[in-house]
Amino acid sequence: MERRSFLRGALSPGLLAQTNVAGSRNLVVERAVSGTPHVGKVLALITPHLDDGPIFASGTIAKLLKEGYTGYFIRTSNDEKDSFGLTLGETVLANERDTQQFITTLGLKQAFDLAYRNHRMDDVGRSELRGRLIFLFRLLKVDTVFSYDPWGQYEENPDHYVTAQAVEAACWMASGRLDLPEHFAAGLKSQAVSEKYYFARGPQLVNRVVDVGATHETKVACIHSCRTMIDHMVKDTKAALAGRKLTLPSLDAAEYIKLAFESRDAEVGRRHGLTYAEEFHYIGPDHAFDEYIARNAVPL
């Protein structure tokens, strides 16, 4: 993530309304369902930084895990720049440890750290990153992904848009017979990723709002698990205030999370009659041939 946007979000809630640029058209509100209808399905959260998923999507992921999904986390950067008062090496280790805490807190099965250098992902070979994601999508048999919106607007962090574009392309190429065919010799099979939940820091096309009221506490715990990054946010805020000869004695991690993130989910929820909600650009399975198949398909 990036510090300034948190402050903007925390201190100027009115800006949050801008995130939905075409929300009313074909908007679906996804609510909790009973039972475990998603047993056998696999989701992957793919982000450059540890805190991206907890902040934007962990309420929805917690809901889907409760409903039967198995989940994985693929962290594409090494988060070496995100701490306060630590060296670069100490920062990598601290965020690596926090990553383990996050996957335990959310109930994900495993984390894969691709470990590209933080803030330098525009140096990464796009086809290399895409190839690594295709390998993991096939290995883990990923049905559903969560990531940054590759079409999100005003995104300033190269780690975010490079990862987002690689995810989007890998989703369809993973199903290709002639893309990286050596995987098949190693026993993997092609894999179609059929559902995508994309989130964004700036304006995006929102067509899916997810009721995360029932998983709000888990989400807050997930954000707390990004201990090094939240500490960075709090101390950066205090350092900026100190420059103005001000201090906020009451500002700690819990207060910051409430101001910057819980208030955002509450504001999104309020617009849809919910207590807390997350919003996405959702792309689902292609049903274009369903009717034709129903009318004409015969047993093989």
Note the residues at the interface with Zn ion (CB under 5 A): 1, 49, 52
Residue closer to Zn ion by CB (options 1, 10) is 1
- Min. distance of Cβ 45 from Zn ion in angstroms? 12
Q: Residue with the closest Cβ to Zn ion?
A: 49
- Min. distance of Cβ 241 from Zn ion in angstroms? 23
Residue closer to Zn ion by CB (options 167, 180) is 167
- Min. distance of Cβ 158 from Zn ion in angstroms? 11
Residue closer to Zn ion by CB (options 173, 223) is 223
- Min. distance of Cβ 160 from Zn ion in angstroms? 6
Residue closer to Zn ion by CB (options 41, 119) is 119
- Min. distance of Cβ 246 from Zn ion in angstroms? 27
- Min. distance of Cβ 157 from Zn ion in angstroms? 6
Residue closer to Zn ion by CB (options 52, 143) is 52
Residue closer to Zn ion by CB (options 52, 98) is 52
Distance CA 191, CA 41 (A): 12
